[in-house]
Amino acid sequence: MTVPSELRRIADTVWELPRSYKPGMLVPARIFATEKLIRAMDSGVFDQVSNVACLPGIQKYAFCMPDGHWGYGFPIGGLAAMDPETGVISPGGIGFDINCGMRLVLTNLTYDEVQPRLRDLVDALFYRVPAGVGCHGFVRLSHDEFCAVAEQGSRWALKNGYAWPEDLELTEEGGCFAGADAAKISHRAIDRGFNQIGTLGSGNHYLEIQVARPENIYDQELARAFGITVPNQVVVMFHCGSRGFGHQVATDYLQLFLSVMEKKYGIHTNDRELACAPFRSREGQDYFAAMKCAVNMAFANRQVILHRIREVFADIFAKDPRELGMEMVYDVAHNTAKLENHVVDGMKRELLVHRKGATRAFGPGMEGIPDRYRESGQPVIIGGSMETGSYLLAGMRGGSETFFTTAHGSGRTMSRHQAKRLVKGQKLQRDMELRGIYVRTASWGGLAEEAGAAYKDIDDVAEATERSNLSRRVVRLVPIGNVKG
């Protein structure tokens, strides 16, 4: 891919498009990547990140993480912090799958103990955790009960027996964004979401059994702090969000913002996909409250999925989940907007931080992370493809420039349509099983879309995040079993 001639390398892994690159840019745009990654980025990244730099109220820079690729509005991997008094809120800077996120769970089992029962485990998980387009969960809720989920998040799950108390401590924001208001969500959104609690969905969502091999541990001390203490320890990672509910919330407010953005507020954007409203406006505040409902639904969704995972492991190994050491490492979101305090030009300020396909990565000693991680920094989970592996990392003290944000995954290199043309799902499943990875999928086409070749090299992305001081590698986790939507 040809990069813009105006792109300047200003540090080892930092590239900048100046304000002169595009009329209307209020701040420069910065991309974190190695030369290999920057050369491979699609042209949409440069166009979109520079469009973000034109949004009212943006502070310092428009950013893109090392896994960046073309998305809706913002590039996936996009980050922008807004002054809440003068700036805007944009669904395109959050995503349709609001609070799509990652959760990592420990076991005290080893690969040798799990491998003989791997097929039984994956088959049972495939049965207990519905995957695929339009799938419904086992939790039966009325519309009013679902609204309680949307306002309470993981707290609802704890009250209803789907969580351990410590699960909430180990979830970003305690599993609930305060200020969610179900009065701000549409009946259509409720209709799409009320029966989807405890489901993976489709696309790049997955539930994976992984192994922490000794040779893949980068930092022994941090690994122990995060619960990786046994050679060839088995862990479970999963990736999902707010399903059709979050999609409808985003759709509803995009339509609203398009109707008021120019006529009512005189805001012009380079791309309709960046439809926005002033954050302090009635429309902006309504969306913020509705977005929090989708965030909380996603936290509850992942919590119920964890409950089912614990049930499966307990059944297969005939032990209580606590005996199996099935504690959480962390749950972190990567499609949100949040009010956070950050230091800008030497002054502490409240900012509205949009993270679109980007993960919060608070460093050691920061408020907002569990006490047990105060010395280590926040656990960060970067998911890779089902063929390669994923990473557990830690937030770093030096992350203030990016408002303590890092990458969220490996990032696509080809479209889903292209992947399906090049890869046959059934053959891929057979090939993966020969390599020791047992996969169950709801759709052969969906499996083909997620082939390893469709993604960037996760090792390159993780290395770039560390070299950029965004997050520090702790351990690379290798897949052995996978449930795909």
Angle at the Cα of 213 from the Cα atoms of 210 and 216, rounded to 5 degrees: 105
Q: Could you give the angle at the alpha carbon of 378 between the alpha carbons of 372 and 382, nearest 5°? A: 135
**Three-state secondary structure string covering 177-204:** CCCCCHHHCCHHHHHHHCCCCCCCECCC
Measured CA to CA in angstroms, residue 7 lies from 10, 17, 38, 461 at distances of 9, 5, 10, 20
Which one is catalytic: 69, 247, 354, 408? 408
Residues in the chain: 485
Helix (H) or strand (E) holding 256: helix 243-260
C-alpha closest to that of 202 among 129, 251, 139, 306: 129
Residue ranges for the known binding site for GMP are 204-208, 334-335, 383-386, 390, 408-411, 484
Q: Is 165 helix (H, G, I), strand (E, B) or coil?
A: helix
Whole-angstrom distance, CA of residue 400 vs CA of residue 415: 33
Alpha helices of 33-130 — where are they, by DSSP H? 35-40, 43-52, 111-114, 118-128
Task: Tell me which residue of 479, 387, 408, 414 sits closest to 70, measured CA to CA.
Answer: 414
Candidates 290, 261, 288; CA nearest to 274 is: 261
Amino acid at 70: W
The H-assigned helical ranges of 318-351 are: none
CA distance 334 to 324: 29
d(CA 477, CA 218): 11
Cα–Cα dist 424/348, whole Å: 52
Residue with tokens 């690159």, as numbered in its chain: 21
Tell me whether residue 342 is one of the annotated catalytic residues: no
Q: Which residues are annotated as a binding site for Mn(2+)?
A: 97, 205, 239, 334
Task: Report, in angstroms and rounded to the nearest whole number, the Rg of the chain calculated over CA atoms.
Answer: 21
Question: Active-site positions?
Answer: 408
